[in-house]
Each structure stands twice: as structure tokens, then as C-alpha cells.
Amino acid sequence: MPRDFAVAFNHVLRNLDELSGELAQAVSLRIRETSGEIRDVATAAVHRDIHGGERISGIDVDTGRRVSVGGRSVLSVPLKDDRGRLIGVQYPREPMEITRMARWVSVRNRTVDHEYYVLRPKPDPTGFSPMRTYDDPRPAPWTDPVLVQGHGDGQYFNVLVGSGGAANRGWRVLRLDAGEYARVVGSDNVFLRAAEAARSGDALLLHCATASGPAARTVAEHLHTEVGIGLRVHGFTGKTWDSMYADESGGSSWFGVDEVRDGAGNVVAPVESYPPHG
């Protein structure tokens, strides 16, 4: 049974409208543009014929069954900075993530453009989730990368897919292997436009632990060999987190990765990079 996210999407759009009144004028205009674009892409994705376009195959998270759909029905959301420039793409797992990432990416001081943080979770004395402190910044091996944000691990990725068809409109979450996800990214118009307007020669996967397995390498190789995009792709080896604050000065945002150790207790490199072949 497809998920009905109509109420959630309407809530996201209301949040974006409210957010546009909270931030500076430049950001306000960008948020309004994003709100309109999200409305357009969400409407288009949920109504698309699931058999149209290049086909992808994945596991329906709700039913556990393998399904095949048109790749164009995957929801992709433009990520724009505080100046309105397209700098990446988001593949949300559920609608409420869209507001958070719209805020995070549009702050004036987006530190992930040049650094990341290594995080070491500590027990919370109140019994809630472990505490993480952004106090160990590391210079990044990238500069002003194209951002690709979503949900994954070393092997699989989750995406939100429109169910298609006038009689059965809704959404489903599909779990894709790295090869299928690479095909989605490599054929996505939002990503391709961001790559064409790239501010540098780098792309950064803002996902959990894509470099802990073949996922990041698979995406990189597909972009390099099948799509012809010469961006150096970077992925993290641990679970990732984002944080931010916004104020009248434009705010700041951070991106961090949990420190990972191997079986011998040695610290694993937090980032792996995959340059184009040759």
C-alpha cells in the first residue's frame, strides 16, 4: 500500500513559507523558490507513470517485495545556497527532511564546503541519545563540492518514489543497491544541472558510511565511466550528522562523522576519495 504523504508535504511547504519570513531577504527569496520547486517536483514524481523512463529495481521497505519503477519517479530536491545557486541535490526518505536540509544548506557559513568534524559519541547522563560535540574540525580534501544528500550505508540507499497512476497515488520508500542508486543520481536532472554548475572538481556524498563498503566507489565509477562526469567523489566511513543555527547574520552549519575503529582498535580514515580514472 503506497504511503499518503500529502499532509506531510503540505506541512513542509507551510514550514518553508514560515521559514522565508525568518531569514534574511536573500535567503527568503531562495526559500520561496525552493518551496515552489518542491511543490512542482513532488507533484510530478507522485503522478508519473511508474513504468516510464529508465527502470530501476529495489525493495519496497513496507512490503519487503522487489519492485521495478521508472527512475524519474524518484523524488529529488534541489539544494540551493543563500545566493540562490544550485549546489546539490537531496533524495529525502520522508517529506519532513526537506525543511531541515533547506535551512541547513542555505545558511551563510556552511562549513562543509571546506571542513568536516570527527565526532566521538559520549553517554548522555539523562539516558537519551549519545551526545556529540562539534569540537574536532578537520580540513576537507574537497572545496565547494556538489552536495548529494540522502540515506544509505556501505551497500544500500533509501529513496522516496512516487507510486504513479491516477487511481493509486502515493509514495513508497525503496531500498536500492549501490548500482541502482548510481544510475538514479547519474540520470537525475537536478544532479546533472548542479554538476554542470559545479564550483570545483568535487562531489560529496552526505550519507552515512558510504565508504565503509562499495557504495561510494560504485557511485563514483558510474559517474566517471558511464555518465562522463569528472568530479572527484568523496564519501564518509561512519555514521554522519548535521547541525546548524540561524540568526540575523546568516547562521552557520556543520557536518560530522562518527569516529570508526577497526577490529584491532585502530582509527579508520573518516573519508575516502575517488578521483576520475586516468
Q: Is the pLDDT of residue 217 over 70?
A: yes
Task: Report the pLDDT value the prediction gives residue 123, as an integer from 0 to 100.
Answer: 82
Mean pLDDT on 217-245? 96
Number of domains in the chain: 1
Rounded to whole angstroms, the Cα distance separating 220 from 214 reads: 10
Task: Report the pLDDT value the prediction gives residue 76, as an integer from 0 to 100.
Answer: 93
Please name the residues in contact with 68: beta carbons below 8 A apart, sequence gap of 6 or more.
55, 56, 57
Q: Identify whether 162 is part of a domain.
A: yes
Q: Identify whether 168 is part of a domain.
A: yes
Mean pLDDT on 237-264? 92
Task: Report the pLDDT value the prediction gives residue 167, as an integer from 0 to 100.
Answer: 46
Task: Report the pLDDT value the prediction gives residue 28, as an integer from 0 to 100.
Answer: 41
Task: Report the pLDDT value the prediction gives residue 40, as an integer from 0 to 100.
Answer: 54
Q: Identify whether 11 is part of a domain.
A: yes
Least confident of 9-13, 116-120, 257-261, 263-267: 9-13
Mean pLDDT on 162-167? 57
Q: Identify whether 218 is part of a domain.
A: yes
Query: What pLDDT band is residue 1 in, cutting at 50, 70 and 90?
Result: low
> In 3D, which of 88, 72, 101 has the Cα closest to residue 253?
101
In this predicted model, what pLDDT tens digit does every residue of 90-115 receive, in sequence order? 999 888 889 899 999 999 999 999 99
Report the phi/psi class of residue 126: left, alpha or beta, with left for phi > 0 and alpha for psi in -120 to 50: alpha
Q: Identify whether 1 is part of a domain.
A: no
In this predicted model, what pLDDT tens digit does every residue of 17-62 receive, in sequence order? 554 444 434 344 444 455 555 555 544 444 444 444 578 999 999 9
Rounded to whole angstroms, the Cα distance separating 119 from 242 reads: 11
pTM: 0.82
In this predicted model, what pLDDT tens digit does every residue of 128-142 receive, in sequence order? 778 899 999 999 999
Judged by DSSP in three states, 218 sits in helix
Q: Is the pLDDT of residue 251 over 80?
A: yes
In this predicted model, what pLDDT tens digit does every residue of 176-201 receive, in sequence order? 999 999 999 999 999 999 999 999 99
Task: Report the pLDDT value the prediction gives residue 47, as an integer from 0 to 100.
Answer: 41
Judged by DSSP in three states, 130 sits in coil
Task: Report the pLDDT value the prediction gives residue 145, as an integer from 0 to 100.
Answer: 98
Exposed, middle or buried by CB within 10 Å (0-12, 13-18, 19+), for 99? buried
Domain that holds residue 44: 6-274
Mean pLDDT on 68-91? 93
Q: Between the CA of residue 175 and those of 2, 19, 66, 259, 274, what are the distances in Å?
A: 15, 31, 9, 26, 24
Q: Between the CA of residue 206 and those of 17, 125, 174, 271, what are the distances in Å?
A: 25, 29, 18, 11
User: What is the sign of the dihedral through the CA atoms of 254, 147, 161 and 239?
Assistant: negative
Higher-confidence position of 215 and 48? 215
Q: Is the pLDDT of residue 270 over 90?
A: yes
Mean pLDDT on 65-93? 93
